[in-house]
Amino acid sequence: MHNKPNDIQIYRSLLPLAWLYGVGVRLRNSLFNRGVLHSHTFSVPVICIGNLTVGGTGKTPHTEYLIRLLHREWQVAVLSRGYKRKSKGFVLGNPETPIEEIGDEPYQMLHKFPDIYVAVDRDRCHGIRLLTDGHTAPGTRVILLDDAFQHRYVNAGVTILLIDYHRLITRDALLPAGRLREPVSGKVRADILIVTKCPPGLDTDIRNAIRKELAPLPRQELFFTTLAYGKLQPLFVEAPERSLESVRTDEYILLLTGIASPAPLIKKLSEYSPHIVPLTFPDHHAFNASDIQCIKDRFGKLPEKKRFIVTTEKDAARLIGHPDMDKDLIPYIYVLPITVEFLDEEEKEMFNQNIIEYVRENTRNSSLSEG
């Protein structure tokens, strides 16, 4: 069964502050709705991927799904804010760009997909103009806006709203009492709703109950996805991959994460070993020398010859070039890749077809307008 309402923690003492926050957000949205603040439309196809909540709903793996779907036929550019980066303004990534300049998630995508453009700019309109000026990122034909649902200055051609199965927006509250960035009514701006992180094989009756609860508009499509875990890949050394099925029940795993929602990962690894030792840092955490020492100390307490470290792709991006990385840890660190799978094959084909048709049609229109 999916979560009951009381499974979501709401800080009721903070509801008065949430009400005040809601007043500000509703005022901002009304200014856009009434045309006082303006949204800009672009000739190039723009797909926005975002959510209504803070925390992990799976934006990066869903963005990567779209990259895989599109990049063989069109030149794709991903435009992100670049959360917690140390640079300012617009930055177009290249293989030598340090993670501090673009942020961990853009860095991850840049190195996984070297044939696409990855850029960061807090001002998304400015970023789109540069990506499509014909010089900055030549040949760009489609732009994926990562985490831009609240960036209403851009009027995206397709807007995808991600909703965590374990924390349905209909049961949440506004910040700081809950995790909502804006009221649930904001979901009307989405063209596609995706319930993410579903258990594989989720019962049809439960899906229908969620559909009824979310109440998509007739023009909105609703899909369900789950996370698929790949093989464990050594981060630093040339060594064979390991399947999760190869993990023995007597092995100890130090699970190193700096992500918003490590719970699903803990649950997954617990299927293979009862000895999961979480070492959790805040989302987008920048590891320092004392953190590396902490990792070494915690790892040193696990039984020798029966231990290794597992981390996420996002955390690996922050560890791979770390100047303080301890050489004694290097042979033991593995990365667990995550991809997205649709629960229903027919829904997957429908989603893919809709995205491809949108890009194909609007790429054609863009070419005609350029001509």
Query: What's the whole-number mean pLDDT along residues 46-64?
Result: 94
331 and 346 part of one domain: no
User: How many distinct helices (H) and strands (E) make up the chain?
Assistant: 10, 14
Question: Beta-carbon neighbour count of residue 196 at 10 Å?
Answer: 22
Number of structural domains the chain divides into: 2
Q: Please check whether residue 317 lies inside any domain of the structure.
A: yes
155 and 196 part of one domain: yes
For residues 126 and 158, give the distance between their C-alpha atoms in angstroms, rounded to a whole number. 19
Q: Please check whether residue 23 lies inside any domain of the structure.
A: yes
347-367 confidence digits (pLDDT tens):
999 999 999 999 999 987 665
The angle subtended at Cα 80 by Cα 75 and Cα 81, nearest 5°, is: 155
Query: What's the whole-number mean pLDDT along residues 66-80?
Result: 98
- Going by C-alpha positions, the residue among 134, 73, 60, 64 that lies closest to residue 359 is 73
* pLDDT of residue 3 exceeding 50: no
- Give the tokens for residue 8: 């979501």
What's the domain range around 46? Answer: 5-74+141-227+342-366
Average pLDDT, the chain: 94
CATH number, domain of 215, equals 3.40.50
Question: Beta-carbon neighbour count of residue 233 at 10 Å?
Answer: 16
Q: What is the pLDDT of residue 260?
A: 85
Place of tokens 């901002």: 28
Which backbone phi and psi does 352 adopt, to 5 degrees?
-60, -45
237 and 249 part of one domain: yes
221 and 241 part of one domain: no
pLDDT band, residue 48 (cuts 50/70/90): very high
- pTM of the entire structure? 0.93
* pLDDT of residue 137 exceeding 90: yes
Percent of the chain with pLDDT over 90: 90
Q: Please check whether residue 40 lies inside any domain of the structure.
A: yes
Place of tokens 């700019």: 121
265 and 212 part of one domain: no
Q: Do 122 and 108 touch, CB atoms closer than 8 A?
A: no
192 and 245 part of one domain: no
For residues 102 and 124, give the distance between their C-alpha atoms in angstroms, rounded to a whole number. 14
165 and 287 part of one domain: no
Q: Please check whether residue 303 lies inside any domain of the structure.
A: yes
